[in-house]
C-alpha cells in the first residue's frame, strides 16, 4: 500500500518537474556545455572549426581592454547600485507614511521608468546630453556655465550613463523596499517609541537589520544587472570616449560583431560568468544572509 | 495552474542566459563536412570557393532543378539601409526584376546598418544567410578568404567585368577571381563650407583652405556663438576609417607595413596628423561633443557648422533634405598637409553585391546581381540619379550614359569630385578593423589631451600586440 502511494507521488512529481527540466536542459544546460566546447575552437560559420585549446581564453585575458572593461563594469555598478538603494530606501519610507490613496498614485508613477526599455531611456538621455540643444547644457547655461561635453569627456561619460541606469532601476527597487518595510511588525517601532528611541535609532537598529535579506537580494541582483549593462553605453557612447564606457558585455558584443571568429566572444562571456559569480559570492559572504528573527 | 506559473517563471529566469547563449548555440551543425583549408595564415583564396561542401552550388544549371520544372526559385537578398533614395531604388528595381522573368523570385530585406552585423552573424550561425548581400570593398578579400562569398567568374557573363575601370577590378578581385560586383564608389573625405559665412567672416568664399594650417585659421575665424568653425570625426569608431585619406596624405602609408608584419607609425607625418586633430579639437573650433556621426551632414545643413569634412554622399543629403542651404554650400577637396592638390585626401569606399558562400542558388543570385548592377546601365543610373550624383560608378558604360544625362553633365560638384579627388584617392585598407581602431584611438586620445608621442607609442604597441597575438604577419590576401 505504502509502496504504491510512493510510486504515484513519484510519477506526479516527475511530471511536474518535467517541463522545467526540459526547458532548463534545452535552453540552459545544452547551450552552456556547447558554449564551453566552442570556446576551445576557432569557430567560423563557413569553414571547419579548428581546436585551439585555451588560446581564446589567453587572448581575452591578455587583452588589456577586457580587464579594463570589467573594472569599468564594477565602477559603473558602484555608482549605480548604492545610489539606487539609498534613494529607493528614502523614497520607500516616504511612501509608507503617506495616505493610501496618494501612495497608490506615487507607486504607479515611480514604476513607469521600469517598463521603459533601456534603449528608449538611452535615446531620451542622448537628447538631454546633446551638446548644443540638450536640456543638461541648457540648465548649465542658465547659471552662466560653458556647455559641457557630457558623453565625450573621459571623466563625465560614465557618470552620465549611470544617471539613466539609476532612473531605470529606481522604481522596482523602491517597490521591493516598500514591501520589505511593510513586513516589519509595527510593534517593534511602538516598543522603541516607549523606550524613547529617535527616528535615526529606529532606522539603524530596527529597519535596516530587518531589511537585511531584502537589501542582500537587491545588492546581488543589482550588481549582476549593472555589471552586465550594455545597451545604455551602446546607444549613448558606443563604448567611447577612449573605451571609458565599454562595459564587459559591450566588449563581448563588439567582438561578436566585428570578429571573424566567434570563439573569442564566447571565451569572454564564460570569463564574465566567472567574474559575476565571484562578485555575487563576495556579497553573500560579506552580508552573511541569515533568516530574520521576527515574531 | 501553479505548475504553469512555475514554468513561465523558469523560462523568465532563463531568458538572459538564453539570450546570451542561444545565438552562439545553434549553429553547430554548420561546421561539419568537408576538409576545408586550415584557419592558419596563408590559406589560399581559391580554397574559399568550396568550403561548404555539399551546400555550395557547383555553379551550374544543376543548382536549379526547380527552375526548369516551373516553380520559381526564391532567393533572399539583404541590402544595407543607406539613404531613403537607395531603398526606393532597390525596391523598385527588385520588383522590376521579379516581373521581368518567372524563374527567380527575389525577397529583398533592407537591414539597418546598426543591426547588420548581429543579424548577419545570427543568420550565418543558423545556416540561413541570404543568397546575396551588400559587401563593403574592404571586406571583399577577407570574406573571400574565409569562404563567406564565392567567386563570380563562372556565375556571371565574364564580359561584364571588362566594363569596370581597371582600378575598380582590383577592389573586388582576389588572385584572378572576382568575388563581388561593384555598385558604387564614394570618396570618404570632401570639404564642405558655407560661402555666406565665409563672406560674413571676411574670408573669400571662392578660396577655401588648401592646407591644414589655413583650415585651422579659417575655422577660428568662422567660429562664433552657435556656429562651430569646423567639424570632422571625433570618436574612434568614425576616425578609424575617415582618417585613412588623411593618413595617406600625411605619412604616405597606413599604420602597418604592407605585409602586415609590424606597426609603422613613428614618423613625422603621423605626428603632424595627430597634432592637426589635436589642434582642431583643443582650439575650440570643433564642438567638444560630436553633434552627429561623421557620415551625417544634418548639423551642417541646420547651420550649426561652417566647414565640415564629410564623404561625397553629404552633397546628396544636402540636396535632398536641405534645399534652402545648398546654394550657400561650397565644395572643395580636403586641404592637404602641404597644400599640394595632387596628394591623396580620401579613400574610395563603397559597396558591391556578393553571393553568399553557401548559397544553394548561386546562379540565380548572380543573375539578380547582373540585372541590378552589371547589365543595362540605365538600371544603376537610376540609383545615381536618386543619390543626386553624389556617388561614382565603377563602370565605363554607366559613366558614358551619365554624360548624356542633362543633370549629371551640368553638375559642377560632381565634376570637381571626379576630377580633383577621385583620381588621387586610394582604396580602403583590408587589414582587420582592430588595427584601424588601435590607431584611431590614438587620434582620439590626442584630441582629448594625451601627448602626441605617447599616443603614437601606445598605438604602435597595440598594433604590434595585435599582429603577434593573431599571427597577422604575412597574411595579407592581396600580397599572396
Chain A CB contacts of B22 below 8 Å: 27, 31
- Does residue A140 form part of some domain? yes
Give the residue on A whose Cα is nearest the Cα of B468. Answer: A59
Burial, A291: exposed, middle or buried (Cβ in 10 Å; 0-12, 13-18, 19+)?
A: exposed
Q: How far is B148 from chain A (nearest CA, A)?
A: 6
Look at chain A and report how many structural domains it folds into. Answer: 1
- Does residue A31 form part of some domain? no
Distance CA A226, CA A249 (A): 10
CB contact under 8 A, A28 and B469: no
Chain B CB contacts of A28 below 8 Å: 14, 17-18, 21
Identify the CATH number of the domain defined by range B59-187+349-410: 3.40.190.10
Q: Does B322 touch chain A (CB under 8 A)?
A: no
Chain B CB contacts of A238 below 8 Å: 235, 237
User: Do residues B293 and B309 lie in contact, with contact meaning Cβ atoms separated by under 8 Å?
Assistant: no
Q: What pairing do the DSSP bridges indicate for beta strands B181-187 and B347-355?
A: antiparallel
Distance CA B147, CA A292 (A): 61
Percent of chain A with pLDDT over 70: 95
Percent of chain B with pLDDT over 90: 59
What residues 408-437 of chain B have any CB closer than 8 A to a CB of chain A?
432-434
Percent of chain A with pLDDT over 90: 48
Selecting from A45, A154, A258 the residue whose C-beta is nearest the C-beta of B27 gives: A45
Helix or strand or coil: residue B111?
A: strand
Q: How far is A228 from chain B (nearest CA, A)?
A: 10
Which of B14, B20, A115, A220 lies closest to B6 in space, CA to CA?
A: B14
- Does residue A22 form part of some domain? no
Confidence category of residue A4, pLDDT binned at 50, 70, 90: low
Selecting from B121, B148, B444 the residue whose C-beta is nearest the C-beta of A256 gives: B121
Selecting from A150, A153, A257 the residue whose C-beta is nearest the C-beta of B117 gives: A257
Selecting from A47, A240, A265 the residue whose C-beta is nearest the C-beta of B146 gives: A47
Distance CA A248, CA A99 (A): 44
Neighbours of B113 (CB within 10 A): 10
- Identify the H or E element spanning B51: none
B106: which strand partners? Answer: B75
CB contact under 8 A, A45 and B30: yes
pLDDT in tens, chain B (480 residues): 344 444 444 444 444 444 444 433 333 333 333 333 333 333 333 333 333 333 333 333 344 444 445 688 999 999 999 888 899 999 999 999 999 999 999 999 999 988 898 899 889 888 899 999 999 998 898 889 888 999 999 999 989 999 998 878 888 998 889 999 999 999 999 999 999 999 999 999 999 999 999 999 999 999 998 899 999 999 998 999 999 999 999 999 999 999 999 999 999 999 999 999 999 999 999 999 999 999 999 999 999 999 999 999 899 899 989 998 899 999 999 999 998 888 899 999 999 999 999 999 999 999 999 999 999 999 999 999 888 888 899 999 998 888 888 888 888 888 899 888 988 888 899 898 889 999 999 999 999 999 999 999 999 999 999 999 888 888 888 776
Give the residue on A whose Cα is nearest the Cα of B39. Answer: A50
What residues 112-151 of chain B have any CB closer than 8 A to a CB of chain A?
117-118, 121, 124-125, 129, 142, 146-148
Give the residue on B whose Cα is nearest the Cα of A157. Answer: B289
Dig out the grid coordinates for A61 from the structure.
Answer: 585575458
User: Do residues A79 and A87 lie in contact, with contact meaning Cβ atoms separated by under 8 Å?
Assistant: no
CB contact under 8 A, B290 and A152: yes
Selecting from B16, B28, B357 the residue whose C-beta is nearest the C-beta of A46 gives: B357
The DSSP code sequence of A253-279 is: HHHHHH-SSSHHHHHHHHHHHHHHHHH
- pLDDT, tens digit (0-9, with 9 covering 90-100), for A254-268: 888 877 777 888 899
Distance CA B323, CA B301 (A): 9
Dig out the grid coordinates for B329 from the structure.
Answer: 554650400
Q: How far is A106 from chain B (nearest CA, A)?
A: 28
CB contact under 8 A, A242 and B236: yes
Selecting from A46, A152, A228 the residue whose C-beta is nearest the C-beta of B146 gives: A46
What torsion do the CA atoms of B42, B47, B52, B53 make, to the nearest 10 degrees? -130
Distance CA A149, CA A161 (A): 13
Q: Return the DSSP state at B29.
A: G
Q: How far is A129 from chain B (nearest CA, A)?
A: 9
Neighbours of A93 (CB within 10 A): 16
Say which CATH class B190-345+430-471 falls into. Answer: alpha beta
Q: Does B35 touch chain A (CB under 8 A)?
A: yes
- pLDDT of the residue at B115: 86
- pLDDT, tens digit (0-9, with 9 covering 90-100), for B427-445: 899 898 889 999 999 999 9
B314: which strand partners? Answer: none
Q: Distance of alpha carbon A56 from its chain centroid, rounded?
A: 27
Q: Report the CATH number at residue A174.
A: 1.10.3720.10
- pLDDT of the residue at A240: 81
Chain A CB contacts of B11 below 8 Å: 23, 27
- pLDDT of the residue at B44: 34
Selecting from A28, A129, A242 the residue whose C-beta is nearest the C-beta of B445 gives: A242
Lowest mean pLDDT segment, chosen from A93-97, A181-185, B29-33, B160-164: B29-33
- Does residue A278 form part of some domain? yes
- pLDDT of the residue at A47: 79
CB contact under 8 A, B444 and A240: yes
- Does residue A204 form part of some domain? yes
Q: Does B5 touch chain A (CB under 8 A)?
A: no
A295 preceded by cis ω (within 30°)? no
Tell me how many residue pairs between chain A and chain B have CB atoms under 8 A apart: 144
Give the residue on B whose Cα is nearest the Cα of A134. Answer: B291
What residues 217-236 of chain B have any CB closer than 8 A to a CB of chain A?
226, 234-236
User: Do residues A62 and A264 lie in contact, with contact meaning Cβ atoms separated by under 8 Å?
Assistant: no
Q: What pairing do the DSSP bridges indicate for beta strands B426-427 and B347-355?
A: parallel
Residue reference for cell 576609417: B241
Burial, B54: exposed, middle or buried (Cβ in 10 Å; 0-12, 13-18, 19+)?
A: exposed
Dig out the grid coordinates for B271 from the structure.
Answer: 605626428
Chain A CB contacts of B148 below 8 Å: 45-46
Delimiting residues of CATH 3.40.190.10 domain(s) in chain B: 59-187+349-410, 190-345+430-471
Q: Does B291 touch chain A (CB under 8 A)?
A: yes
Residues in contact with B257: Cβ distance below 8 Å, sequence separation at least 6, in sequence order:
B263, B264
- pLDDT, tens digit (0-9, with 9 covering 90-100), for A279-294: 888 888 887 655 544 4
Which of A222, A178, A239, A203 lies closest to A81 in space, CA to CA?
A: A222
Q: How far is B30 from chain A (nearest CA, A)?
A: 6
Q: Does B304 touch chain A (CB under 8 A)?
A: yes
CB contact under 8 A, B25 and A35: yes
Chain A CB contacts of B39 below 8 Å: 42, 44, 47, 50, 261
Chain B CB contacts of A128 below 8 Å: none
CB contact under 8 A, A20 and B10: yes
Q: What domain range is A162 assigned to?
A: 66-287
- Does residue A179 form part of some domain? yes
Selecting from B24, B237, B289 the residue whose C-beta is nearest the C-beta of A262 gives: B24
A50: which strand partners? Answer: A42
Distance CA B146, CA B150 (A): 10
CB contact under 8 A, B7 and A28: no
Neighbours of B110 (CB within 10 A): 15
Distance CA A146, CA A140 (A): 7
Amino acid at each position: 500500500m505504502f509502496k504504491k502511494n510512493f510510486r504515484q507521488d513519484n510519477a506526479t512529481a516527475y511530471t511536474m518537474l518535467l517541463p522545467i527540466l526540459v526547458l532548463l536542459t534545452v535552453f540552459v544546460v545544452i547551450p552552456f556545455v556547447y558554449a564551453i566546447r566552442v570556446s576551445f575552437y576557432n569557430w567560423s560559420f563557413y569553414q571547419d572549426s579548428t581546436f585551439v585549446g585555451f588560446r581564446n581564453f589567453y587572448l581575452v585575458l591578455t587583452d588589456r581592454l577586457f580587464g579594463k572593461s570589467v573594472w569599468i563594469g564594477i565602477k559603473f555598478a558602484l555608482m549605480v547600485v548604492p545610489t539606487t538603494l539609498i534613494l529607493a530606501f528614502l523614497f520607500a519610507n516616504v511612501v509608507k507614511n503617506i495616505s493610501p490613496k496618494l501612495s497608490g498614485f506615487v507607486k504607479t508613477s515611480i514604476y513607469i521608468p521600469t517598463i521603459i526599455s533601456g534603449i528608449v531611456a538611452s535615446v531620451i538621455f542622448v537628447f538631454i546630453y546633446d551638446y548644443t540643444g540638450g536640456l543638461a547644457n541648457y540648465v548649465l547655461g542658465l547659471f552662466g556655465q560653458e556647455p559641457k561635453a557630457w558623453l565625450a569627456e573621459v571623466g563625465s561619460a560614465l557618470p552620465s550613463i549611470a544617471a539613466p541606469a539609476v532612473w531605470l532601476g529606481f522604481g522596482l527597487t523602491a517597490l521591493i523596499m516598500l514591501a520589505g518595510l511593510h513586513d516589519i511588525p509595527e510593534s517593534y517601532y511602538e516598543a522603541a517609541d516607549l523606550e524613547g528611541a529617535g527616528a535615526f535609532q529606529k532606522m539603524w537598529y530596527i529597519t535596516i537589520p530587518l531589511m537585511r535579506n531584502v537589501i542582500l537580494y537587491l545588492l546581488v541582483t543589482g550588481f549582476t544587472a549593472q555589471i552586465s549593462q550594455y545597451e545604455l553605453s551602446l546607444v549613448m557612447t558606443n563604448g567611447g570616449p577612449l573605451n571609458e564606457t565599454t562595459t564587459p558585455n559591450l566588449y563581448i558584443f563588439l567582438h561578436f560583431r566585428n570578429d571573424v571568429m566567434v570563439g573569442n566572444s564566447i571565451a569572454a562571456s564564460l570569463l564574465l560568468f566567472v567574474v559575476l559569480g565571484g562578485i555575487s559570492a563576495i556579497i553573500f559572504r560579506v552580508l552573511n544572509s541569515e533568516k530574520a528573527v521576527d515574531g | 495552474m501553479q505548475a504553469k506559473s512555475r514554468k513561465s517563471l523558469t523560462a523568465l529566469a532563463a531568458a538572459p542566459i538564453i539570450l546570451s547563449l542561444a545565438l552562439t548555440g545553434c549553429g553547430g551543425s554548420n561546421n561539419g563536412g568537408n576538409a576545408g583549408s586550415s584557419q592558419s595564415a596563408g590559406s589560399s583564396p581559391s580554397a574559399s570557393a568550396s568550403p561548404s561542401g555539399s551546400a555550395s552550388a557547383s555553379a551550374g544549371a544543376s543548382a536549379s532543378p526547380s527552375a526548369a520544372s516551373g516553380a520559381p526559385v526564391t532567393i533572399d537578398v539583404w541590402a544595407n539601409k543607406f539613404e531613403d533614395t537607395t531603398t526606393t531604388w532597390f525596391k523598385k528595381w527588385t520588383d522590376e526584376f521579379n516581373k521581368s522573368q518567372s524563374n527567380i523570385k527575389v525577397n529583398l530585406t533592407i537591414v539597418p546598418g546598426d543591426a547588420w552585423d548581429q543579424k548577419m552573424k545570427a543568420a550565418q550561425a543558423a545556416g540561413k544567410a541570404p543568397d546575396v548581400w551588400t559587401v563593403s570593398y574592404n571586406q571583399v578579400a577577407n570574406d573571400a578568404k574565409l569562404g563567406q562569398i564565392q567567386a563570380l567568374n563562372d556565375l556571371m557573363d565574364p564580359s561584364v567585368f571588362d566594363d569596370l575601370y581597371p582600378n575598380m577590378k582590383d577592389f573586388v578581385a582576389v588572385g584572378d577571381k572576382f568575388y563581388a560586383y561593384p555598385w558604387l564608389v564614394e570618396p570618404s573625405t570632401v570639404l564642405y563650407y558655407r560661402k555666406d559665412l565665409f563672406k560674413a567672416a571676411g574670408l573669400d568664399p571662392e578660396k577655401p583652405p588648401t592646407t591644414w594650417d589655413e583650415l585651422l585659421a579659417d575655422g577660428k575665424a568662422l567660429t562664433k556663438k552657435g556656429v562651430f568653425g569646423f567639424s570632422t570625426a571625433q570618436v574612434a569608431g568614425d576616425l578609424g576609417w575617415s582618417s585613412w585619406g588623411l593618413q595617406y596624405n600625411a605619412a604616405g602609408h597606413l599604420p602597418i607595413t604592407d605585409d602586415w608584419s609590424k606597426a609603422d607609425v613613428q614618423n613625422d607625418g603621423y605626428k603632424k596628423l595627430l597634432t592637426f586633430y589635436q589642434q582642431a579639437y583643443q582650439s575650440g573650433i570643433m564642438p567638444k561633443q560630436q553633434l552627429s556621426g561623421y557620415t551625417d551632414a544634418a548639423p551642417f545643413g541646420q547651420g550649426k557648422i561652417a566647414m565640415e569634412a564629410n564623404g561625397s554622399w553629404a552633397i546628396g543629403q544636402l540636396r535632398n533634405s536641405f534645399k534652402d542651404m545648398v546654394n550657400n554650400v561650397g565644395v572643395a577637396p580636403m586641404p592637404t598637409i602641404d597644400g599640394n592638390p595632387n596628394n591623396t585626401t580620401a579613400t574610395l569606399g563603397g559597396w558591391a553585391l556578393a553571393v553568399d558562400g553557401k548559397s544553394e542558388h548561386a546562379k540565380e543570385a548572380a543573375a539578380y546581381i547582373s540585372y541590378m548592377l552589371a547589365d543595362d546601365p540605365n538600371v544603376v543610373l537610376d540609383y545615381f540619379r536618386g543619390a543626386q550624383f553624389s556617388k561614382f560608378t565603377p563602370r565605363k558604360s554607366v559613366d558614358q550614359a551619365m554624360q548624356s544625362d542633362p543633370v549629371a553633365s551640368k553638375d559642377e560638384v560632381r565634376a570637381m569630385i571626379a576630377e580633383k579627388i577621385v583620381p588621387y584617392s586610394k582604396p580602403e585598407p583590408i587589414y582587420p578593423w582592430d588595427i584601424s581602431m588601435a590607431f584611431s584611438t590614438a587620434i582620439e586620445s590626442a584630441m582629448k589631451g594625451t601627448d602626441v608621442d605617447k599616443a603614437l607609442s601606445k598605438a604602435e604597441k597595440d598594433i604590434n600586440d595585435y599582429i603577434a597575438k593573431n599571427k597577422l604577419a604575412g597574411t595579407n590576401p592581396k600580397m599572396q
